[in-house]
């Protein structure tokens, strides 16, 4: 059984390679970009922002990447891991895309990465934060334009230890993104001499926080570090403030706590400090131009997700240029991406050996409905890529 | 845990349990009396929360939104019963599950088209937007206490209507023997319509009340649906009183589970359900 699978697998592989080389023979053909992102469900807004960002870069570039016209094959991944492998395979083998771009949900991204590895298709992850993507499961073919869950949390751990805080309670959902974030925070905070008083978790997506707030009030730590995102984050911040804790015990977390939630949090969010690789109020010219164009083109303000989509296009463009515009010359393409410096609206970044951005992490403060940059808390922070053999 | 924390955790349990009761009471009525497995019940909670968001944005007041929202939910429930659910009474449970699951998808897509996929906050009415200082650092939002008061009042009202009024008598009779009630000349179709509309309105009201503390977001209905079914099972199908007891048990199990055995907090509620099922398969208040 195992043997047949292997044979079938290698046949598929050689067919895929043959297909890829046929594709490469027509150098004048269009570059086909497979966008596999969520366009329905909870993450629809993120999928659309990433798509907008990607297309904006291509349009700024005269509709081209690496000097070649671009066409898209688009699939709604519905943030459904069960359909991920089939969707990714469809894009690779039927649509014959030159590059897979996706996605938001880490479970879906992990399944896509497996397909990318097996079929030797280039893939760029424009959001999903699972450490494993650029850790134990890293691959020459898989790149990330966003962040690892470890990065913003580790930076926050360093920053709070530097502030001299000693005693912190953490709260998160018991799922991988939350646990990886808390682990990253803990690593840096304990290295800096701090102590985690208690790690609280609750099942995803439970949002009944009142018991934890009561416990935090009785433990009286120096501060609370939380990982929450989306609606749960808005609720935690509101509950925290309503319980009267906001004025006595400061609350910190990675930027996912506030991004996209400021409207829902209202006054409860004001003054919160979070860490992320993007912020409002950056002063580089690249960001100003990006924002002006994005706002004019899509009639809304860009967010971190749009930036990640934009940079995914930049990364692939850099690779294609190095390969003379031929997506079939994969070795040169990968080398080109690995050695590129990406001039991102977030600030320039390079890629680590595991293909994750080596980037500055900002401390941001919520002010008047924006995540305004305070300072760079971690300069050129590189994910340790534990378990990656590249 | 010191004594003050213990008391506050008890308050948390009561407050959470009472809100759960509000959602589950409508489900148990519809399930028990009409025999319908209504998976779309969570969607009514979601509809309520979005009504609170849309109407309070338009009128500037949550109270106004609730005053307008309840009649809307009643009408909405009556129309749904007339158009769809009234055809289900004689069908088997599988078809009910199919239809009501389909409704979840339809309501979520409609919500996405009409209001979008963003998370929204709903403002707490100004006269309830305060906190009571309980300990040195912890205070308790007045709004949460107000919700509990509303839930208690509704529980009493429901009990009164079902046990003491003519309508309640007809509802209970319809629950016991539909054909006998019909042969006595009572318009059972109308009673079912009223019960269903009431169930929808209860879930929607729970959504409206919870909107300021939970915020409104896509798929919010699915979270409460599962826990509501747990309550209906623990309390005994069709028993409003049982639902109240069960909701409080779930409130306590969830709250103290999170504090005392955080590693297993996700399963505490389900362990309680399993134990009750083994001990009293008909529900905690019915004799096996």
ipTM of the shown complex: 0.81
All residues of chain B having their beta carbon less than 8 Å from the beta carbon of residue A248 are 137
The three-class DSSP label of residue A365 is strand
* A213, A234, A249 member nearest B121 (Cβ): A234
User: In this complex, do B266 and A238 lie within 8 Å of one another by their Cβ atoms?
Assistant: no
Q: What six digits make up the tokens of A39?
A: 């366009």
Query: Taking a C-beta distance cutoff of 8 angstroms, is the pair A109, A361 a contact?
Result: no
User: In this complex, do A231 and B16 lie within 8 Å of one another by their Cβ atoms?
Assistant: no
* A41, A201, A265 member nearest B262 (Cβ): A201
Tell me the mean pLDDT per 10 residues along chain A, length 390: 47 48 55 94 87 97 95 94 96 96 94 96 96 95 97 97 96 92 97 95 86 93 94 89 92 93 88 97 95 95 95 97 95 96 97 97 95 96 93
> Which of residues 19 through 78 in chain B touch A, CB cutoff 8 A?
none
* A214, A245, A261 member nearest B5 (Cβ): A214
Q: Strands A370-381 and A357-367, how do they pair? A: antiparallel
Question: Chain A residue closest to B219 (CA)?
Answer: A42
User: In this complex, do A40 and B131 lie within 8 Å of one another by their Cβ atoms?
Assistant: no
H/E run at residue A12: helix A2-25
Query: Cα dihedral sign for B229, B234, B237, B239?
Result: negative
Q: Strands A68-76 and A64-65, how do they pair? A: antiparallel
User: Which of B20, B38, B210 is CA-nearest to residue B107?
Assistant: B38
User: In this complex, do A210 and B266 lie within 8 Å of one another by their Cβ atoms?
Assistant: no
Q: What six digits make up the tokens of B231?
A: 């309550």
* A218, A230, A239 member nearest B119 (Cβ): A230
* φ, ψ dihedrals at B42, nearest 5°: -60, -30
User: In this complex, do A211 and B255 lie within 8 Å of one another by their Cβ atoms?
Assistant: yes
Could you report the per-residue pLDDT of B66-114, keeping only the tens digit for each? 999 999 999 999 999 999 999 988 888 899 999 999 999 999 999 988 9
Q: Which residue(s) pair with A201 in the sheet? A: A172
* φ, ψ dihedrals at A48, nearest 5°: -65, -40
Question: Chain B residue closest to A269 (CA)?
Answer: B121
DSSP 8-state code for residue A168: E
Query: Taking a C-beta distance cutoff of 8 angstroms, is the pair A170, A200 a contact?
Result: yes
Q: How many CB atoms lie within 10 A of CB A387?
A: 13
Q: Which residues contact A251 (CB under 8 A, 6 or more apart)?
A: A223, A224, A226, A237, A240, A245, A272
* A206, A214, A264 member nearest B215 (Cβ): A264
Lowest-pLDDT choice from A49-63, A138-152, B51-65, B212-226:
B212-226
Q: Give Rg (Cα) of chain A.
A: 21
Compute the nearest-CA separation of A99 from chain B (Å). Answer: 28
* A248, A261, A265 member nearest B137 (Cβ): A248
pLDDT band at B204 (very low <50, low <70, confident <90, very high): very high
Select from B212, B262, B264 the residue whose CB has the most chain A CBs within 10 Å, as the one to mutate to test that interface: B262
Q: What does the alpha-carbon distance between residue A56 and residue A126 come to, in Å, rounded to a whole number?
A: 14
pLDDT number for residue B181 = 87
Query: Taking a C-beta distance cutoff of 8 angstroms, is the pair B230, B17 a contact?
Result: no
The pTM (predicted TM-score) of the whole model is: 0.84
Could you report the per-residue pLDDT of B132-162, keeping only the tens digit for each? 888 888 889 999 999 999 999 999 999 899 8
Residues written for chain A: 390
User: In this complex, do B120 and A174 lie within 8 Å of one another by their Cβ atoms?
Assistant: no
pLDDT number for residue A28 = 58
pLDDT number for residue B2 = 83
pLDDT number for residue A26 = 47
All residues of chain B having their beta carbon less than 8 Å from the beta carbon of residue A224 are none
User: In this complex, do B254 and A208 lie within 8 Å of one another by their Cβ atoms?
Assistant: yes
Q: What does the alpha-carbon distance between residue A201 and residue A178 come to, in Å, rounded to a whole number?
A: 9
Exposure string (b/e) for A61-78, b if CB count within 10 Å is 16 or more? eeebbbebebebbebbbb
Query: Is the N-terminal amide bond of A205 cis, ω within 30° of 0?
Result: yes
User: In this complex, do A231 and B220 lie within 8 Å of one another by their Cβ atoms?
Assistant: yes
Query: Taking a C-beta distance cutoff of 8 angstroms, is the pair A178, A207 a contact?
Result: no
pLDDT number for residue B287 = 53
């Amino acid at each position: 059984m195992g043997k047949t699978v292997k044979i079938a697998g290698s046949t598929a592989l050689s067919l895929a390679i043959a297909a890829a080389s046929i594709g490469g023979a027509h150098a004048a053909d269009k570059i086909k970009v497979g966008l596999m992102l969520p366009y329905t469900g909870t993450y629809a807004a993120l999928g659309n922002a990433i798509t907008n960002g990607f297309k904006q870069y291509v349009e700024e570039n005269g509709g081209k990447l690496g000097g070649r016209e671009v066409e898209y094959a688009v699939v709604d991944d519905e943030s459904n891991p069960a359909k991920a492998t089939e969707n990714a395979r469809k894009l690779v083998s039927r649509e014959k895309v030159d590059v897979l771009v996706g996605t938001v949900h880490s479970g879906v991204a992990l399944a896509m990465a497996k397909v990318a590895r097996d079929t030797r298709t280039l893939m760029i992850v424009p959001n999903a934060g699972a450490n494993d993507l650029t850790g134990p499961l890293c691959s020459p073919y898989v790149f990330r334009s966003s962040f690892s869950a470890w990065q913003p949390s580790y930076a926050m751990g360093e920053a709070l230890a530097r502030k001299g805080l000693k005693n912190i309670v953490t709260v998160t959902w018991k799922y991988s993104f939350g646990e990886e974030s808390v682990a990253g925070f803990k690593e840096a905070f304990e290295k800096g001499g701090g102590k985690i008083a208690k790690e609280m978790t609750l099942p995803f997506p439970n949002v009944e926080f009142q018991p934890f707030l009561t416990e935090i009030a009785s433990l009286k730590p120096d501060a609370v570090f939380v990982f929450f995102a989306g609606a749960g984050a808005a609720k935690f911040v509101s509950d925290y403030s309503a319980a009267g804790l906001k004025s006595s015990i400061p609350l910190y977390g990675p930027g996912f706590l506030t991004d996209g939630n400021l409207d829902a949090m209202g006054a409860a969010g004001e003054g919160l400090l979070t860490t992320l690789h993007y912020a409002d109020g950056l002063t580089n010219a690249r960001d100003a131009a990006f924002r002006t164009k994005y706002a004019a083109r899509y009639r809304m303000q860009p967010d971190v997700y749009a930036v990640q989509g934009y940079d995914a296009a930049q990364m692939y463009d850099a690779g294609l240029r190095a390969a003379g515009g031929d997506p079939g010359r994969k070795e040169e393409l990968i080398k080109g991406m690995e050695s590129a410096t990406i001039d991102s609206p977030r600030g320039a970044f390079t890629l680590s050996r595991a293909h994750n951005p080596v980037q500055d992490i900002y401390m941001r403060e919520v002010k008047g409905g924006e995540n305004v940059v305070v300072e760079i808390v971690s300069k050129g922070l590189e994910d340790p890529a534990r378990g990656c053999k590249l | 845990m010191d004594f003050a924390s213990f008391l506050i955790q008890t308050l948390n349990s009561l407050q959470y349990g009472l809100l759960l009761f509000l959602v589950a009471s409508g489900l148990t009525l519809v399930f028990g009396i009409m025999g319908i497995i209504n998976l779309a019940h969570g969607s009514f909670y979601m509809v309520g929360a979005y009504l609170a968001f849309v109407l309070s944005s338009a009128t500037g007041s949550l109270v106004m939104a609730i005053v307008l929202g309840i009649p809307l939910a009643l009408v909405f429930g009556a129309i749904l019963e007339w158009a769809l659910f009234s055809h289900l009474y004689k069908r088997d449970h599988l078809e009910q599950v199919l239809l009501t699951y389909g409704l979840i998808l339809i309501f979520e897509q409609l919500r996405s088209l009409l209001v979008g996929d963003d998370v929204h906050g709903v403002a707490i009415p100004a006269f309830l937007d305060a906190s009571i200082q309980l300990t040195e650092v912890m205070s308790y939002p007045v709004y949460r206490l107000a919700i509990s008061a509303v839930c208690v009042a509704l529980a009493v009202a429901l009990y009164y209507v079902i046990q003491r009024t003519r309508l309640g008598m007809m509802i209970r009779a319809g629950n016991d023997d539909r054909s006998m009630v019909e042969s006595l000349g009572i318009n059972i179709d109308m009673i079912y319509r009223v019960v269903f509309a009431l169930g929808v309105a209860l879930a929607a009201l729970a959504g409206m009340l919870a909107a300021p503390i939970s915020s409104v977001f896509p798929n919010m209905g699915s979270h409460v649906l599962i826990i509501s079914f747990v309550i209906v099972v623990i309390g005994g199908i069709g028993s409003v009183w049982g639902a109240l007891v069960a909701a409080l048990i779930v409130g306590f199990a969830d709250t103290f589970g999170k504090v005392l055995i955080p590693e297993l907090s996700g399963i505490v509620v389900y362990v309680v359900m399993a134990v009750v099922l083994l001990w009293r398969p008909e529900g905690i208040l019915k004799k096996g």
